Amino acid sequence: MGSIAWKRASVSTLACAALLTSVAWAGSPAADAAPLESGDVTATTTGSDDATNGVAETEWGDDTSKQGKRASKRTGSWDASLDLGSAFSTTRSIGAQAAWALGVTGKDVTVAMVDTGTAPVAGLDDGARFLDGPDLSFESQEAGTRYRDGFGHGTHLAGLIAGADRGFDPKRPDPSLFAGVAPDAKLLNVKVGTGDGGADVSQVIAAIDWVVEHRDDAGMRIRVLNLAYGTASTQSWQVDPLARAVENAWRNGILVVSSAGNDGSDGSSLLMPAVDPHVLAVGAVDHRGTIATDDDTVADFSSVGNDERRADVLAPGKSVVSLRAPGSNADLQHPEGLVAGDDEGRYFRGSGTSQAAAIVAGEAALLFDAKPRLTPDEVKAVLMRTARPLGQADPAQGAGVTDVAAALALVRSKATPDVAPSALPASTGLGSLEASRGGEHVVDPGTGIALTGEIDALGSAWNGAAWVAAQHQGATWSKGLWNGRAWTGEKWKDKQVLGVRWTGDSWSGKPWADEGWSDDVWQARSWRGNSWKARSWREESWKARSWRSLS
């Protein structure tokens, strides 16, 4: 985390060559957990009416420039090469296809995605590249919902990061086959959000800690963490525990890509943790329906931030087409996200800074592939240094629109970035867990009791000082335990981290064993209350700004 001085900076080469010791915490006693066979959970949430939390919400559909109609007009079937929002057009415009032509495809790099899970659809079905990490969501207790995306958000982003159809050849991109930005990268799915989007900030922090402490497990080499999540934290990033968690990942060699948020000019700042200057905050660019770039603008939903903190870069986030999760919340509630002329029904269209962040996560994987010794600071600096400024000045653009072809040219040149240590302080992480929630809370659907105060999602007391001490030792997780309770198993089987049955009482005082879990990924109960205004995983707030895309 630091500033950068450039010794030499020539980016013409590629740009012109072709038109990404273990301790247990203080808290509840650590009980032995039985292996998880089956179970089911869901959640409801409540929150302040003006909060802005959760998954950077996606606006599904949002095809204001009628790309789908144009791309299917000729034959009636959708042609990805004629749709500016398709993965084919996007990877071409950002320079990813130029990188592929040089053999840079994200191979041997793992991107961890903390989100709502993934669906095993075509494009995400390569068992060698797609792994399921621990499911820390309220849907982890049943086999039918574990790891799986009942919301539709995680599947959309996973496709953009590293999806690839069988038979896809990066050297000869075919618009009839789907491919994300880093088609040979591995992707680790760490699910924290339920089918209605319910997730507590403590689940996200636990997920980040797990990624850091298991970054080299099972043949992985995690160098990128995609976090299309944010809260309207009411405290400074200098003390916020979520900020501390992402900074710890960064210090351990993992580039954290965070969506800026979808509040447009309405929000007073970027979401947490994007507001933390030690991570890479991504906003969205709007192509305005034209191939030309001189009329591109910051998307109207992309959070503007303030003079203290803006998005670092922009990436395509308007009307982006990626993989559909059939039967998911987004799929059922937002038929406008379906792509006109898509004869196979594989694709879904959405807008949001979530999509933009996913694209940049893929770009980062390409750069780590090209030069594995790069640090997160160097990758951030390279992406910002080579970004293309918009035609019209706008402070919300940060350095401009990423250009991974130019970034790769710089990385492969003799120009070496000299990154100086940042003068900014690190987060202490000693702030309030409740303040980090930003006014929104998951709710036990059986009792109606909201999770509030200094309590984590399993019901254990939160001790920030003990957590920070464990983090210093690289031991926030110990044999599936986090904050004194067993959240997940520790063994891998068939590219998945096995789950465990939750024990003890929930935050509402009800034993976890008494919860009525649903085994149907599409029928799970809601963990969020009716007043949840978060910008994230849930269907009611598709206009909100968080984990979701704008469709």
Closest CA to 282 of 393, 178, 156, 387: 387
Residues recorded for the chain: 551
Q: Which residues contact 319 (CB under 8 A, 6 or more apart)?
A: 62, 63, 64, 65, 67, 84, 85, 349, 350, 351
Q: Which residues contact 237 (CB under 8 A, 6 or more apart)?
A: 243, 272, 273, 275, 276, 277, 427
Sign for the pseudo-dihedral over CA of 225, 251, 389, 386: negative
Which one is catalytic: 153, 214, 287, 441?
A: 153
Give, to the nearest 10 degrees, the angle between helix 376-385 and helix 353-370.
110
Closest CA to 538 of 137, 51, 195: 195
Any bridge partners for residue 190, and if so which? 114
372: exposed, middle or buried (Cβ count in 10 Å: 0-12, 13-18, 19+): exposed
Which one is catalytic: 354, 427, 526, 546?
A: 354
- Which tokens is 505 given? 């009482």
Asked whether 504 and 459 are in contact (CB, 8 A), the reply is yes
Name the residue with tokens 């800026």.
260
Whether 115 sits among the annotated catalytic residues: the reply is yes
Nearest-angstrom CA–CA distance, 191 and 184 = 22
- Collapse the DSSP code of 139 into the 3-class scheme (helix H, G, I; strand E, B; otherwise coil) and give the result: coil
Q: Kind and range of the H or E element at 110?
A: strand 110-115
Whether 334 sits among the annotated catalytic residues: the reply is no
Which amino acid does the sequence have at 231? T
- Across the beta sheet with 485-486, the strand order is 477-478, 481-482, 485-486
Asked whether 248 and 212 are in contact (CB, 8 A), the reply is yes
Whether 441 sits among the annotated catalytic residues: the reply is no
Asked whether 285 and 318 are in contact (CB, 8 A), the reply is yes
E strand intervals along 123-230: 130-132, 186-191, 222-227, 229-230
Name the residue with tokens 């339920």.
194
Using the CB atoms, write b or e for 91-113: b if 16+ within 10 Å.
Answer: bbbbbbbbbbbbebbbbbbbbbb
Which one is catalytic: 40, 62, 115, 312?
A: 115
Q: Rounded to 5 degrees, what angle do the CA atoms 88, 363, 99 make?
A: 65
Q: Kind and range of the H or E element at 156?
A: helix 153-162
Active site positions, annotated: 115, 153, 354
